[in-house]
Chains A and B, each alone.
Chain A
Amino acid sequence: MEIKIALAGNPNSGKTTLFNALTGSRQYVGNWPGVTVEKKEGSLKKHPDVKIVDLPGIYSLSPYSLEEVIARDYLIDERPNVIINIIDGTNLERNLFLTTQLTELGIPVVVAVNMMDVVIREGDKINIEALSHALGCKVVAISALKGSGIDELIDTAIKQASGGETVPMHTFSGVVEHTIAHIEEAALHNLPEERQRWYAIKIFERDSKVMEKLSINKDILAHIEKDIKNAENQLDDDSEGIITSERYVYIAEVIERCYQRKRRAKLSTSDKIDKVLTNKWLGLPIFAVIMYLVYYIAMVTIGLSATDWANEGLFGDGWHLFGDGSAAYEEQAEMYNNSMLALEAFNPELLEEEELDAEVVVNSMRAFTPEEKTATVDVEDEETLEITQMTVYYDSIPEDADEETTVPVSFLEAMAFIEENGIEEPDPADYGTWVRGVPVVVEDWLSNANTAEWLNSLILDGIVAGIGAVLGFVPQMLVLFLLLAFLEDCGYMARIAFILDRIFRKFGLSGKSFIPMLVGTGCSVPGIMASRTIENERDRKMTIITTSFIPCSAKIPFIAMVAGAIFQGSAWVATSAYFVGMAAVVISGIMLKKTKAFAGDPAPFLMELPSYHWPSISNVLRSTFERGWSFIRKAGTIILLSTIFVWFTSYFGVVDGTFRMLEEEELDLSILAAIGNAIAWIFKPLGWGTWQASVASFTGLVAKENIVGTMGILYGAGDGTVYQNIAAAFTTVSGYSFLAFNLLCAPCFAAIGAIKREMNNIKWTWFAVGYQCGLGYVVALMINQIGNAFLGDVNILGLAVAIAILAYMLYMLFKPYRTSSESLAGHRV
């Protein structure tokens, strides 16, 4: 017989640890249908036919929070054979509150009292037998972390699943019990007896979700309502309050009977830690230090080298095994590049030959006598395509030379270098153990197999590049998730929300949104994935939508290019880009929380601050890999397919009436260019309605740094440098509008994939992307229209539209919003 077990319990009760102990590695992590709440299922160790579902961590079965409704609906609709209710033995009172509700469902319950080892160590006593008697169900003492009591728990649960019975032992006060009995009789006599009590209590509480489901006759309902009113008058509280209060009264009695607490020092270790970590003066500085460490480890040191390895090593040319020889190679390569620059500066004709011969070069260098002691050479920055003029000295570099604009190798040193090392570029494979990257290996196979050129390109530039785009994020993500899992497990994450709540709630975000935003300055993809730590569904969605507004590191070359080409390298362009990003987060938060999609039942912010403890390593590792894997699985496909799509449209086109594959430089003939041409009019009101700018924005979807490369190709033709051509094509106003649009509009495909993974809902994914593009569009429109008007170039219609949008946004920003707390403060008696 197949047995279904549901695992229920409070957050922080050790539920995840117990689930892992029960299932081992046989688990499947997904989401509950259509929502962003995680769902875990698995089969029991040694009992493959016993399925176990991990319900969301909840404190109650009220109809007000998404997690609680999910758990309720599962228990009522799926009716598992048995519920394992894990409770924290060191915090019995609040944990038993959920237990009193679970035992009413008419499903056998087995209570697992967790952290029994801690209870015993602290000298407290829990009388398991008395507790079992008081709750009306089986109780087993366990320690999920130590693994003790698990076998007994499994045996008890399986036994209870077939023929076990749980009868709730707690009773409410006379008048309430009377009403409940009445409700059972009048409205629920058709239901099996063991289910009646739960429904009757819910009807007494006027639980709208249950009432809707049962669709009770109006007359009966009116009758019941009279009874409820009567009870409420007698007990001077509303019916929900009566039930909740009386549950806690009963629990207090149970604790009295079953729990002996040893007197102990007033402050536990956890309290002492908390005194420091959330201290009035030290709290914020300590928080800043911890955040700095997270950022430094995940995005700068380990994370960055992991990303570099994945992108430039594994999915690039290759890497030195264990870094062996890579320092020597890099030194040599730098020396070589600088030597070639020195050579080019003084004697450019030398390098014009197709085949360079070291001997010929050296001989002519020896014969060369300079007219001046210095010469200059133009150097193009790989990332931003900016051109800088560098000075090369003939014999020696003076000490006061400007490092920024001086090639650190003199002509004579360059000559000596080439004499010794030849004119060939150094090969990394000659230094240490060189492992070739995936694209190199695949390219070799393809050229051996003599495949068609388009197929090579499809595999290399489409598929391999796409897979690289997915996997390239993973190493960094794992480092970040490891740190986050640690912060969550040890209890500090809840303190982050506590410390930052005052600021973030103003924008409809949680204090925990800080981490996604912070990580987002490095890369939006792990940033969006980090929103998983936010417990409230609305805050989580809001964070997912707004994280990519923060300029990520891939946007920096683009920002630098706009600054360099259009704003003479002014530093305020980059600074203002961050302000635009932050303003977009704040404005979106304030506006969106007033929309229908984010309105609804206001939930107050009451959050447990769990005790600090050392996280279990296996929990932290498991959660880390689960998240990494779910990114690959859920976000991978969309990233791969979109990359292939953009590859196809940019490498194919119709030339002179025939459809063929194009060279990289022929981007202007591609399908993408045709698309750009067709949609350029959309961007006319933004001031840059050219096909080049549209195409550049498109390729930015693959990765934002691609915008620079595309602009390099599209503005590289003709006279002048790329920067000069861009400067000619844009005004300062349309340039800034172009920048703002590309900062705010849909992020790269990888980030869209992450959004889809986290939203777990195609409609919400489209909403997020649509909102981002829409906001980018209207912001760019306002910049262009209002900016031009200031410069005296007024477009009446455009300006009117821009002002109308501005007015609407201001209206949304200042329109009053009733938060849960504020709206209720008005009810004060």
Chain B
Amino acid sequence: MKTLREVAIGESVKVVKIHGEGAVKRRIMDMGITKGTEIFVQKSAPLGDPLQVTVRGYELSIRKADAELIEVE
């Protein structure tokens, strides 16, 4: 299984499934990361974490630990 965490910077991927449950999963989905969504990984913060991704036309900051819950292809 490939997760968003492993995606190289500058790459685009498609969401397959959101793992986890409750508040975390809901928040990830509320922000627009749902099955089938395109995600473009912009960069990581100067200290290496969190990531900055483009999703549904806007910029989102997401921690690597949370990105691990997002299965992509």
Q: Is B48 an interface residue (CB 8 A)?
A: yes
Q: In whole angstroms, how far apart are the Cα atoms of A284 and B45 in the complex?
A: 10
Say whether A576 faces chain B, with CB atoms less than 8 Å apart.
no
Judging by beta carbons under 8 Å apart, are B26 and A827 in contact?
A: no
Contacts of A284 in B (CB 8 A): 46-47
CB <8 Å contact, B23 and A64 = yes
Interface string of A786-829 (1 = CB under 8 A from B): 00000000000000000000000000000000011110110111
- Contact (Cβ within 8 A) B59 A59: no
Residues of A within 8 A of B28 (CB): 604, 606
Bound Cα distance A611, B21 (Å): 30
**CA A607 – CA B65 in complex, angstroms?**
14
The answer to whether A278 touches B43, judged by C-beta atoms less than 8 angstroms apart, is yes
A residues in contact with B52, CB < 8 Å: 278, 498, 609
Q: CB-CB < 8 A to B23: which residues of A?
A: 62, 64, 601-604, 820
Separation of A454 and B49 alpha carbons in the complex (Å): 62
- Tell me the residues in window 290-347 of chain A with beta carbons closer than 8 Å to chain B beta carbons: none
Tell me the smallest distance from the CB of A829 to a CB of chain B, in Å.
6
Q: Which residue of B lies closest to A279 (CB)?
A: B46
Residues of B within 8 Å of A498, CB to CB, are: 45, 50, 52, 61
Q: Tell me if A280 counts as interface (CB < 8 A to partner B).
A: yes
Q: CA–CA, A286 to B45, complex, Å?
A: 13
| A603 neighbours in B (Cβ, 8 Å) | 23-24, 27
Cα–Cα distance between A827 and B17 once the two chains are bound (Å): 14
Q: Contact at B27–A64, with CB atoms within 8 Å?
A: yes
- B57 close to A (CB within 8 Å): yes
Interface members, chain A 179-222 (any B CB < 8 Å):
none
CB distance from B2 to the nearest CB of A (A): 13
Cα-based distance from A640 to B63 in the complex (angstroms): 45
CA distance A274 to B52 in the complex (A): 11
Which of the 9-residue segments A71-79, A89-97, A737-745 touches chain B? A89-97
Q: Which of B27, B56, B65 contacts A94 (CB 8 A)?
A: B56
B12 close to chain A: CB less than 8 A: no
Q: Are A499 and B58 in contact (CB under 8 A)?
A: no
Given known pairs A59-B31, A498-B52, the reply for A602 and B45 (CB within 8 Å) is no
Residue of A nearest to B71 (CB): A829
| CB <8 Å contact, B57 and A244 | no
Q: Mark A596-615, 1 if CB is under 8 A from B, else 0.
A: 00000111111111110000
Residue of B27, B57, B66, B69 with most partner-chain A CB within 10 A: B27
- Whether A829 lies near B25 (C-beta < 8 A) is no
B18, B24, B34, B59: which contacts A608 (Cβ < 8 A)?
B59
CB nearest to A503 among chain B residues: B47
CB contacts under 8 Å to B, within A204-262, are 237-238, 240-241, 244-245, 248-249
Q: Which of A54-93 contact B (CB under 8 A)?
A: 59-60, 62, 64-65, 91, 93
Q: A65-B27, A605-B62 are in contact. List 10 more A-B contacts (CB 8 A).
A: A240-B25, A241-B34, A245-B34, A249-B34, A605-B50, A606-B28, A606-B66, A610-B59, A821-B69, A829-B1
* Sample of 13 A–B contacts (CB below 8 Å): A60-B26, A62-B23, A62-B27, A64-B23, A93-B32, A94-B32, A240-B29, A241-B25, A280-B44, A498-B52, A502-B47, A604-B63, A829-B1
Q: List the interface of chain B (C-beta within 8 A of A).
A: 1, 18-32, 34-35, 37, 43-50, 52, 56-63, 65-66, 68-69
